[in-house]
Amino acid sequence: MAAVAALHKKGFTITGRGTLLTRQVGMIEGSLRALLAECKTNNGKPPIKVKGPLDGGIVWVDGSESSQFVSGLLMALPLCGRDSEVRVQGLTSKSYVRMTQRLLSDFSVDIRSDSSFSIFTISGNQIYRAREYLVEGDWSGAAFMLVAGAIAGEVIVNKLREGLQPDQSIISVLMDAGAKVYSSDESVRVRADRLRAFEFDATDSPDLFPPLVALACACEGKSVIHGVDRIRNKESDRAAALLDGFRGLGADINVVGNRMEIIGAKLKGGALNPRGDHRIAMAAAVAALVSENGVTIHDYVCVTKSYPKFFAHLESLMR
């Protein structure tokens, strides 16, 4: 939204609530200023004050923390009067930028990039053209339900189809862990079976970390999830939230360098504070399905950020 807001002469303030106000967004400030927009953050954190108009040109962007601002620039710069070149250093989550590029193409906007996704060339004065569009089902949210089926019974999730979303790799992880997985063009069915430890690099799909921790707790042996550094600057420090929260439920979980190690064993259960993070709350709820005493989740309404009907859907699986 910062890049889009910077297209306008009117000033905007972009803010949030809870843990979003602690999220690092400093990479936005210098980049928008380089494109002649005004931008000021609160010492690198929200709120962000933005005033345009944004101009085209050459801009360097740090993509190591998040790909989201890169996507924002790719959406906004085609509407500028000048051509632009976005040079990205250390881009993570390339698949999400690839999704943005395809989406813009679907609406008649052309973005060209090199093979490493480090340089994007954007012509100015482009026009978005309206059309009908089918939005893909959300693999990030579906991953929690698919894990629930894998550890506690059976689930069918509809309106999921193969695409560019990196979180569809949840399917391969579930299969590696021994769950029974059946997929079609429009749905995925997962059934519980004897689960074994798995190893997965979540660097390009960091939103899978929370549901995979819940899965690992139900697997025999030591599971390893790589890419811990990618989850420290989310709605919470997810590495710390998962470590402290799941230890409180009885999990044998540790962080070693850039990887998280979980030795599977039945959880005792207990209480967990998700730190205002929707994905931590959903992971705890899924883990509760195979705990001895269940889990009490404080501030559970944080799930409404991405999945307002999560608890209703989870309850429907238990009827």
* pLDDT tens by residue, 85-124: 999 998 888 889 999 999 999 999 999 999 889 999 999 9
**239: number of Cβ within 10 Å:** 19
User: For residue 33, what pLDDT band results from cuts at 50, 70 and 90?
Assistant: very high
Q: What does the pLDDT read at residue 319?
A: 66
Which regions of the chain carry the CATH code 3.65.10.10? 2-122, 139-316
Token pair of 262 as six digits: 């979980």
Question: 272-306: string of b/e by CB count within 10 Å (b at 16+)?
Answer: bbbbbbbbbbbbbbbbbbbbeeebebeebebbebe
pLDDT at 23 over 90: no
Q: How many Cβ atoms sit within 10 Å of the Cβ of residue 318?
A: 9
Beta-bridge partners for 57: 84
pLDDT tens-place string over residues 225-252: 999 998 987 778 899 999 999 999 999 9
Q: CA–CA separation, 163 vs 99, rounded Å?
A: 9
Q: In this structure, which CATH number among 3.40.50.300, 3.20.20.30, 3.65.10.10, 3.40.50.880 belongs to the domain 139-316?
A: 3.65.10.10
Alpha-carbon 190 to chain mean position: 22
CA–CA dist 238, 228 (Å, integer): 9
Q: Write down the pTM of the prediction.
A: 0.88
Q: State mean pLDDT over 261-278.
A: 95
Distance from the first to the final alpha carbon of the chain: 41
Residues identified as active-site = 207
pLDDT tier at 312 (50, 70, 90 boundaries)? very high
Q: What is the reported pLDDT for 97?
A: 93
Least confident window among 75-79, 98-102, 185-189, 292-296? 185-189
Which has the closest alpha carbon to 153: 271, 286, 294, 303? 286
The CATH superfamily of 2-122 is Enolpyruvate transferase domain (3.65.10.10)
Query: What percentage of the chain reaches a pLDDT higher than 70?
Result: 100
Cβ–Cβ < 8 Å for 233, 44: no
Reported as a single tens digit per residue, the pLDDT across 161-194 is 888 899 999 999 999 999 999 998 889 999 999 9
